Amino acid sequence: MTDHIRVRFAPSPTGSLHIGGARLVMYNVLFAHGQAKREGRDGKFVLRIEDTDRKRLIEGSAENLMEGLRWLGLKWDEGPDIGGPYAPYVQSERKHRYGEIAEQLVSEGKAYRCFCTPERLQEVREQQQREKLPPGYDRHCRNLSAEDVQAKLDAGEPYVIRFAMPLEGETIVPDLLRGDIVYQNDKIDDLVILKSDGFPTYHLAVVVDDHEMDITHVTRGPEWIPTAPLHVQLYKALGWEMPIFAHMPLILNPNGGKLSKRHGGVSLNDFREAGYLPEALLNYFALLGWSLDGKTEIYSMDDLLQHFTLEKVSPSPSTFDRAKLDWLNAQWINHHLTTEDLALRVMPWLIEAGMIAAAPVDTNHPQYATVVGLSGLLKDRIHFLTEAPDLMSYFLIDDLPDYDTDLLVPKKMEAADVLKVLDAAAELLPRLDLDSHEQTEAAFRALAEQLEMKPGQVFMPIRVAATGRAQSPGLFETLAAVGKERLIARIDLARTKLR
């Protein structure tokens, strides 16, 4: 067992960060910064950009990806932005190394140049399909004579370098979650390790980078299991010590199959924009495929750092359950965030909606105290940050948007009775200290008695008049937060609506 642990996340910058990737990063961080440290080992998490596919590069996606991780609060110890002892952390900048190593393997007879054209490969594949044979490269160039190779080289024919897999025996891929996976070597292809443009394929690049960056544990998606024997053989051929492999489980969409765009958001940004909290996302990632005791549901990142172990991650894929994520998000908002914290998180949405001043979001914002108060009132009713502007609107805006007059008249009540209630309320209001919820409540209950109505029959019209809706936080807190001046105006408005 090594005295230190180094793991890495190596995304290709071809789009936005998928939540499967985000979960992988979290596991890496928990492993390096949590489990490793608890076991008394030095743990490092490194971020490396795998940009060897020049055709699929998307401008800015590496930066976008890092921004997403920062938002989640997941930190890396080394990476393209902060550097580190194993720089560079961008694959394309390491290009020359891969060429050298591929050439070395060729000279040792462990790899070979292949001059087959894409057309020929296509033909071979089609023929195999017709004859129902397992598809794969037919090793056409594996036994080319030295003269043939030289002649083609001299003629300037483009080539790739393929790894020469052993033709017999078996390759064992030890997997931390699954145990040994055994492959028959003759079933494994001679895969391309260096492309004709001189860039390595994933297979060569990961092995070289992981080795040169001293990666001890390779965590990645399960889609790499089938090519893992190649990687094992590559380590062998190069005489390098093998890392420990841990292929993590896949996240499925509710209909089975890889989680994809069809089923709502899959990129981290989608969730951010939908008003999810990083805490809830991380909490959910932990619950998907891992469990402490089968009972605990709420975990903070600190809790996880204290308890997470990579070995306990389940190897079986799990279905992404949006409803449970939503529940967790609400749990975090309703019970685990302080009102001050909630206020700060809700403010950017309020600014965007034009409901509070567009000033920097901090405790010095002119309406910070107001929003803290509202956050206290609405904490239990908010499931997503995106709901805040709507739920807080009637507290922050002077003029209520028009609402249906029928709303003012509860079932089993006549408009005339409602008018009586509102008239009485309008008269009562100037004398009340709204900040004293008890006094307000007592006054309105007395009013109900005097009008020979149930309290609810008095409360409801006042609620609607004050807010323009049938649902709100507790009436008396709500009235205080709306403020006396606006309240009087709104009750007057309701009275005119009823007449």
Binding mask 360-399 for RNA (x = CB under 7 A): --------------------xx------------------
Asked if omega into 254 is within 30° of 0 (cis), the reply is: no
The least distance separating RNA from the CB of residue 365, rounded to whole angstroms, comes to 26
Which alpha helices (H) appear in 186-318, and where do they start and end?
Answer: 202-212, 228-238, 268-273, 278-287, 301-307
For RNA, which stretch binds (CB under 7 A), given 182-190, 233-241, 266-274, 361-369?
Answer: 182-190
Distance CA 474, CA 472 (A): 6
- 218 burial (CB, 10 Å; 0-12 / 13-18 / 19+) is buried
The least distance separating RNA from the CB of residue 284, rounded to whole angstroms, comes to 8
Number of residues that bind RNA (CB under 7 A): 88
Exactly one of 82, 87, 121, 353 binds RNA (CB under 7 A); which one?
121
The least distance separating RNA from the CB of residue 179, rounded to whole angstroms, comes to 7
The least distance separating RNA from the CB of residue 198, rounded to whole angstroms, comes to 9
- For RNA, the closer of residues 69 and 361 by Cβ is 69
- For RNA, the closer of residues 195 and 272 by Cβ is 195
What burial letters (b/e) apply to 397-419, b meaning 16+ CB within 10 Å?
eeebeebeeebbbbeebeeebbb
The least distance separating RNA from the CB of residue 34, rounded to whole angstroms, comes to 17
- For RNA, the closer of residues 11 and 43 by Cβ is 11
Distance CA 385, CA 391 (A): 10
Which tokens sit at 58?
Answer: 């998307």
The least distance separating RNA from the CB of residue 378, rounded to whole angstroms, comes to 9
Q: Does the active-site annotation cover 152? A: no
- For RNA, the closer of residues 164 and 361 by Cβ is 164
Exactly one of 460, 480, 481, 482 binds RNA (CB under 7 A); which one?
460
Instruction: Find out whether 276 and 329 touch, Cβ atoms under 8 Å.
Output: yes
> Left, alpha or beta for 415 (phi > 0: left; psi -120 to 50: alpha)?
alpha
Instruction: Find out whether 319 and 253 touch, Cβ atoms under 8 Å.
Output: yes
Which tokens sit at 172?
Answer: 């064992």
Site for RNA in 427-446 (CB under 7 A): 441
- For RNA, the closer of residues 72 and 466 by Cβ is 466
Instruction: Find out whether 26 and 282 touch, Cβ atoms under 8 Å.
Output: yes
Exactly one of 2, 16, 92, 334 binds RNA (CB under 7 A); which one?
334
Q: Closest by alpha carbon to 205, among 70, 88, 84?
A: 88
- For RNA, the closer of residues 2 and 57 by Cβ is 57
Other C-beta atoms lying within 10 Å of the C-beta of residue 28: 26
SS3 assignment, position 386: helix
Distance CA 75, CA 193 (A): 31
Site for RNA in 217-236 (CB under 7 A): 222-227
The least distance separating RNA from the CB of residue 264, rounded to whole angstroms, comes to 14
Exactly one of 41, 71, 75, 136 binds RNA (CB under 7 A); which one?
136
Does residue 134 belong to the site contacting RNA (CB under 7 A)? yes
Distance CA 145, CA 53 (A): 31
What burial letters (b/e) apply to 295-313, b meaning 16+ CB within 10 Å?
eeeebebeebbebbebeeb
- For RNA, the closer of residues 53 and 270 by Cβ is 53
For RNA, which stretch binds (CB under 7 A), given 324-332, 354-362, 398-406, 428-436?
Answer: 324-332
- For RNA, the closer of residues 189 and 341 by Cβ is 189
Instruction: Find out whether 250 and 317 touch, Cβ atoms under 8 Å.
Output: yes
Q: Cα–chain-centroid distance for residue 128?
A: 41
Site for RNA in 190-219 (CB under 7 A): 191-192, 195-197, 199, 201-202
Site for RNA in 261-320 (CB under 7 A): 287-291, 293-295, 297, 312, 314-319
Q: Closest by alpha carbon to 276, among 224, 223, 324, 226?
A: 324
The one catalytic residue among 37, 75, 236, 261? 261
Site for RNA in 145-174 (CB under 7 A): 158, 160
For RNA, which stretch binds (CB under 7 A), given 7-15, 65-73, 337-345, 364-372?
Answer: 7-15
Site for RNA in 61-100 (CB under 7 A): none
For RNA, which stretch binds (CB under 7 A), given 30-38, 180-188, 363-371, 489-497?
Answer: 180-188
Which alpha helices (H) appear in 412-474, and where do they start and end?
Answer: 415-428, 437-451, 455-467
- For RNA, the closer of residues 27 and 183 by Cβ is 183
Distance CA 55, CA 179 (A): 36
Residues classed as catalytic: 261
